[in-house]
Amino acid sequence: MKSVLHPLRGALAALCAFSALAAAPSAHAEYPERAVSLVVGYPAGGSVDLTARLFGEELAKRLGQSVVVENVGGAGGTIGAQRVARAAPDGYTLLLGSTNEMVIASMINNAVKYDSVKDFSPLGVIASQPMLLAASKNSGVKTAAEYLQKLRASAPGSFNYGSSGVGTTLHLAGEMINQSTGTRAEHVPYRGVAPLVTDLMSGQLDYGMLVLSSGLPQVRADKIVALGVTEKKRSPVAPDLPALAETPGFESVDISVWFALYGPAGLPEPVAAKLRSALADTLKSEQFRAKMQEAGGVLSQPGLDPAAYQAEETKKYGALVKAAKIEAQ
């Protein structure tokens, strides 16, 4: 009898365990069960941070949990991105990524410790924002056509433009303008936008590349001159400002800074699907659209493939880095 009961007990135990497992909910069915961290690789106050805070509010509504924006600044956004790349792939640590750390950084910085394609799960593009070519009022230049005329009539390097640093989207937008127009304004890197704007207003800097949301207040206050935005079409945020591409010689200028949502690589599909759905729903919100437009951004089209979009942007910026002869260090 003993030898018969033991196998029966084992079989019953296995059956009970199987039944309990089958009856248990999926490990990801209740995601999220606690607050979600949305990492930003920059200090508070910039365009990436503002986008994260506006988007985080909408994401929290749709997930039914708090979304906490966590600023992990340093190294052009790469420290924050690296943190997410190394996080557990459970959906509780996400990245509000931008062009700098997800496309450009690895091209110019050998110290980057992550692969922006292999180490992340791209969930969707949220918004983009054009950049602005602005002139000092002391320059006497009021239009893109006058800018082009002045640079073509001068020796290469006679004029300069400032950006927030070597290898940033602003720097490469300036190089796209040089490439498109066949002119040569020399790049002057600044440590952030504030000192750049100060020099532009004082006339110590001839021209400057600014994210639209950063430059628009100075334009409206008549402290600097807007020559044009860098996307192919005018921005609905400031439809009175021309697109540079409207002016002959600038036709190939089409570049922007963009913001997208990422998780670590290996994110479980049920979690990824829930986040993609929440993002798609957010992009349909007129309230969110209005808030983003007020902040200078234009929403992405729902359904845009983030991986394919990033691949296109990588190709575009790779060509610019090569043309500008920026060596990785």
| pLDDT tens digits along 275-287 | 999 999 999 999 9
For residues 165 and 186, state if they share a domain: yes
Q: What is the pTM of this model?
A: 0.85
Q: In CATH, what number is assigned to the domain containing residue 236? A: 3.40.190.10
Q: Are residues 124 and 273 in the same domain?
A: yes
Distance CA 72, CA 81 (A): 9
Does a structural domain hold residue 279?
yes
Provide the mean pLDDT of the chain: 89
- Closest to 163 (Cα-Cα) out of 197, 137, 140: 197
Cβ neighbours of residue 111 closer than 8 Å, sequence gap 6 or more: 75, 78
Asked whether residue 179 is assigned to any structural domain, the reply reads: yes
| Domain termination site, one of 192, 214, 246 | 246
- Which pLDDT score, from 0 to 100, does residue 7 have? 43
**For residue 74, which amino acid is it?**
G
Q: Of 212, 246, 280, which residue constitutes the final position of a domain?
A: 246
In the chain, the number of structural domains is 2
123 and 153 share one domain: no
Q: Look at residue 171 and tell me if it is in a domain.
A: yes
- Per-residue pLDDT for 162 more than 70? yes
Residue 84 lies in a domain: yes
Query: Is the predicted pLDDT of residue 42 greater than 60, yes or no?
Result: yes
Residue-wise DSSP of 219-254: HHTTSEEEEEESSSS--TTSTTSPBGGGSTT-TT--
- CA dihedral sign of residues 39, 196, 214, 149: negative
Determine the pLDDT at residue 319: 92
| Percent with pLDDT over 70 in the chain | 91
Give the count of alpha carbons within 13 A of 12, CB side only: 6
Residues 121 and 174 in one domain: no
pLDDT in tens, 67-103: 999 999 888 899 999 999 999 999 999 999 999 999 9
CB 308 within 8 A of CB 117: no
| Per-residue model confidence (pLDDT) at position 29 | 57
Q: Distance between alpha carbon 56 and the CA centroid of its chain, in Å?
A: 15
**Do 85 and 54 form a contact (C-beta atoms < 8 A)?**
no
The 10s digit of each residue's pLDDT in 198-235 is 999 999 999 999 999 889 999 999 999 999 999 999 99
Which tokens is 166 given?
């070597």
Residues 240, 137 within the same domain: yes
Q: Which helix (H) or strand (E) holds 259?
A: strand 256-264
Q: Which of 192, 220, 246 is the last residue of a domain?
A: 246
Give the CATH number of the domain where residue 75 resides. 3.40.190.150
Query: Which range, of 119-123, 163-167, 181-185, 234-238, averages the lowest pLDDT?
Result: 163-167
24 in a domain, yes or no? no
Specify whether 226 is located in the same domain as 320.
no
pLDDT value for 166: 86
Based on the domain organization, do 136 and 242 belong to the same domain? yes
- The per-residue pLDDT for range 45-54, each reduced to its tens digit, is 888 999 999 9
Assess whether 123 and 73 both reside in one domain.
yes
Over residues 164-177, the mean pLDDT reads: 91
Kindly state whether residues 148 and 66 are assigned to the same domain.
no
Cβ atoms within 10 Å of 8's Cβ, excluding its own: 9
Residue 166 is part of which domain span? 130-246
109 part of a folded domain: yes
Residue 201 resides in a domain: yes
Please give the Cα distance from 278 to 260 (Å, whole number): 13
Statement to judge: residues 102 and 181 lie in one domain: no
- Ordered DSSP codes for 75-120: GGGHHHHHHHHTS-SSSSEEEEEEHIIIIIHHHH-TT--S-TTTTE
> What is the arithmetic mean of pLDDT over 300-320?
93
Same domain assignment for residues 115 and 136: no
Q: Is 140 a member of any domain?
A: yes
Q: Using CA atoms, how far apart are residues 276 and 291, in angstroms rounded to an integer?
A: 20
Name the helix (H) or strand (E) containing 201. Answer: helix 193-202
Answer with the residue of higher pLDDT: 1 or 145.
Answer: 145
* Residue 74 and residue 213 in one domain: no
